[in-house]
Amino acid sequence: MEQIEQTEPKKKILSLIQPTNTPHLGNYLGAMQNWVKMQEEFDCTYGIADLHSITVRQDPAKLRAQIKESYALLIAVGLDPEKSTLFVQGHNPNHAELSWILSCYTQFGELSRMTQFKDKSAKHPENINAGLFTYPVLMAADILLYQADLVPVGQDQLQHLELARNIVQRFNGIYGDVFTMPEGYITKATAKVMSLQEPTKKMSKSDENPNASVWVLDDRDTIIRKFKRAVTDSESEVCAREGKDGIINLMSIYGAVTGKTLDETESEFKGKGYGEFKLAVGEAVADKLAPMQAEFKRISADKGYIEDCMKKGAEKAFRASRKTLQKVQKKVGFIVF
């Protein structure tokens, strides 16, 4: 009798992005490309964190447009709604329900220590709202609802993941094995994309200098112009050496979009000036983004398709998370039908 080989279930991975701005080149190279690879190896849930975005005042019409744009971008970069769960956070009420319960198992002192709360409070002193204080609990709910094994995190989110782990330890300690303990997932080394105007700082969505960041939907001419204006140094040699932060950043970006090593890039541009190099980097980035931009344009034009994907994604996310929420509700003493 032929034995059927048992395959282990895929590990669950979850990642959400806020729809407050178009992603920049660093988001694309550092996170979004990796998400596409992950869906082959993991059971992936990807979402648009619209609930998180309103801790800062938003223009409603603009936010709606950005949610749709962000969702279409996820599909355009290569995420498959059939392989992964792609949803908008606010379309699944389980997030808000679990967040309230978990907030009753989170200590005030733990939230007071969150550095992002302090940073954002300083940045928006006119609007230090309760949501800004408690949103790490909503972040924990996002993760725990789907029993995620792994969460892709950057350095700035490690503290929030640690809080989620503390909540799991506390809740499971009281009620037994309810939540999976999530681990941080550090992706394999990709280009660390720095600002084109201040190459010692990471490229940022909040940078007010329009030439500092390349947005993934910038047209070809804009991309090339921004790279032509990139800050370098007073030398003319394309090489990775101390004190050449601007050139190293451009070499790193060039390598990320062409697959070339720093040494190969150095050889290619030996004896050539910065002008020629900057143009080549701009053109290579524009070429890399062009297929995704064309796909985004096609998807965005089909409003029925986006809405259908959103509805199906919401149903899928709701079903995947309802069991966890109901288990939690029963554990804390609620009546569940």
Q: What pLDDT is recorded for position 118?
A: 82
Annotated catalytic residue within 192, 205, 260, 316: 205
* Rama region for 326: left / alpha / beta (φ>0; ψ in -120 to 50; rest): alpha
Evaluate if residue 207 carries a pLDDT over 90: no
Mean pLDDT of 280-290: 97
Cα–Cα nearest to 193, from 288, 118, 290: 288
The CATH code of domain 220-297 reads 1.10.240.10
Higher pLDDT, 99 or 132: 99
Q: How far is CA 272 from CA 10, 132, 280, in A?
A: 49, 50, 11
Distance (Å, whole) CA 258 – CA 274:
18
- Where do the DSSP E strands lie in the chain? 12-17, 43-48, 85-88, 150-152, 183-185
Round to whole Å and give the CA distance between 160 and 111: 9
Is position 260 annotated as part of the catalytic site?
Answer: no
Task: Tell me the torsion sign for CA atoms 292, 295, 297, 301.
Answer: negative
Mean pLDDT for the stretch of residues 48-62: 95
Q: Give me the CATH topology for the region 12-190+303-332.
A: Rossmann fold (3.40.50)
Above 70 in pLDDT, residue 190? no
Q: Range(s) for CATH 3.40.50.620 in the chain?
A: 12-190+303-332
Is residue 191 very low, low, confident or very high in pLDDT (cuts 50, 70, 90)? low
Backbone conformation region of residue 163, classed left if phi is above 0, alpha if psi is from -120 to 50, else beta = alpha
Q: Name all contacts of 126-131 with Cβ < 8 Å and 24+ positions apart.
A: 127/56, 127/57, 129/55, 131/54, 131/55
Q: Does residue 81 carry a pLDDT above 70? A: yes
Q: What is the pLDDT of residue 117?
A: 85
Which member of 68, 120, 278, 288 is catalytic? 120
Q: Span 59-84, mean pLDDT?
A: 96
In the annotation, is 205 catalytic?
yes
Which amino acid is located at 248 in the chain? I
Write out pLDDT tens, residues 152-179. 987 778 899 999 999 999 999 999 999 9
pLDDT in the model for residue 3: 54
Percentage of the chain with pLDDT > 90? 80
Catalytic residue among 12, 68, 202, 278: 202
- pLDDT for residue 155: 72
Q: Specify the pLDDT at position 5.
A: 54
Helix (H) or strand (E) holding 290: helix 274-301
Q: Is 243 left (phi over 0), alpha (psi -120 to 50) or beta?
A: left
What is the reported pTM? Answer: 0.89
* pLDDT greater than 80 at residue 55: yes
Question: How do 85-88 and 183-185 pair as beta strands?
Answer: unpaired
- Is 1's pLDDT higher than 50? no
Which pLDDT does position 125 carry in this prediction? Answer: 87
pLDDT digits (tens, 9 = 90+) for 113-151: 988 888 888 888 898 899 999 999 999 999 999 999 999
Contact 195, 161 (CB under 8 A): no
Active site residue 120: yes
Mean pLDDT in residue range 71-92: 96
Q: Which two tokens stand for residue 26?
A: 């660093």
- 308-311's contacts with Cβ under 8 Å and 24+ in sequence apart are 309/71, 309/75, 309/81, 309/86, 310/71, 310/87, 310/88, 310/91
Q: Which of 106-115, 154-163, 181-190, 194-203 has the lowest mean pLDDT?
A: 181-190
